[in-house]
A and B are shown apart, each in its own frame.
Chain A
């Protein structure tokens, strides 16, 4: 697949985090950090992305893509991590961590089943630099996340 299905939105950071959740379920306390990527916490139906910034109020840009198979490695990101999880509904939404409105359009990743997810993060340092210059600033789209799902066996 050359062009994956995708959705993107800016979403408010809450508790230093945001989530991409299967809209059919998902519990945050079940989520554990991925090997080598403690900022990527996953459990079935939920992906929690931790900001690299200390900002208490900012709106990162999040893009979620659904692939048929593992996409090629995407360079140019500060951090990358991978995990495997089960989606019980198959449709995900980008959400503020503490709950709220789905940002952007929900994305149909695929049928219920097991998926690999690769997460990318960048821009946290730029957020902190911006806030050092202007502590009252509310950065929009400076920190960025990319989440890529594809189905795996099992």
Chain B
């Protein structure tokens, strides 16, 4: 008898799965919402969105944003007896909500449907589902009776079962950053006592921190978790309220030699979202830190055409319109205008452009909210990118 369990029979995944799909469109960028408590039940609209989303129909599911993950897919379990395969295909929906105010993640699971081929596996076959978590984390809910039911019962029960992953308040640095892996595992047991090999699903990654308890993260919740299987990026739309900022950044990322200062000089401006984690991104620094002050000082020299930025290839004088000098990379990043090499020489991989004041303000507002919503930590903890869309 050969026994496998696809539900879960997909072998444990690579330690890190970083989706490399195309950047989200502006419409997919989540609107900011108030910090909410973990829900007792998943949001109906989100469940429907997930169930109709092709990207969620995959072994790894889809990280929608750093707060939410979901999966709607079909997996299987089978047992081969005397050369005959008995199999169940199980379609399920699973969601994970990262807590924005605690070191916790809540996972939901529901069987939407199943199909059997009438062998030893049938509607009365028992299915057990559990959640595992590795590295300084605990799972509650595995011992609840609702995780062990006949396939028929799983399907006819219209609600979701849930687990809570709790991250211990410990980890790296002052922010006490901890990264955890969690996964589903499942097993089918027939009414004759035949069991599939327990299958373990792909690993999903979460990160929890207590950044709000340390200086530098004022206004943040003390603790939180995020879904970590995704590269964080901020989306600016060329037709949105920060259109001028989007245009400026697009030029800086795609045609850096066309930017001021030193227009015409080759530059390599980092931060373009491609989905490739090896591409150079941006790293947040504290507003008011020495690096930040250096970024602003350089921006001022460029804006005011102070030496050495007073040549014909430097930023023209301010036009009469209501504009502001917009900088990229952002002054709140290590890669800003004041960035230097190991010898202390300015890298010069930046751009300043005159941008409509209202649009510049809107762009700054988006960046502020992105840092907070996506919980962008400072230093090397969170390399992030910029995605420009029409």
The chain A residues found within 8 Å of chain B, CB to CB, are 12, 14-17, 21, 23-31, 41, 48, 50, 56-57, 88, 93, 95-102, 135-136, 138
Contacts and interface: CB of A to CB of B under 8 A. Distances in A.
Contact of B219 (A16, A23, A57, A135): A23
Contacts of A100: 216-218, 286-288
Interface of B: 32, 34-35, 215-220, 286-288, 292-293, 296-297, 299-300, 303-304, 306, 324-325, 331-332, 360-362, 364-369, 371-373
Nearest to B324: A16
Given A56-B300, A101-B286, A135-B300, 7 more contacts: A12-B292, A15-B331, A15-B364, A25-B34, A99-B368, A99-B372, A100-B218
A15 B361 contact: yes
Nearest to B368: A28
Nearest to A46: B219
B216 A101 contact: yes
Contacts of B286: 100-101
Contacts of A15: 331, 360-361, 364
Contacts of A138: 293
A contact patch SS: loop
Given A12-B288, A15-B364, A56 B218 contact: no
Given A14-B331, A29-B369, A97 B364 contact: yes
A27 B219 contact: no
A149 B286 CA distance: 28
Contact of A135 (B32, B215, B304, B372): B304
Nearest to A88: B34
A96 B288 CA distance: 8
B219 A102 contact: yes
Contacts of A21: 218-219
Nearest to B332: A98
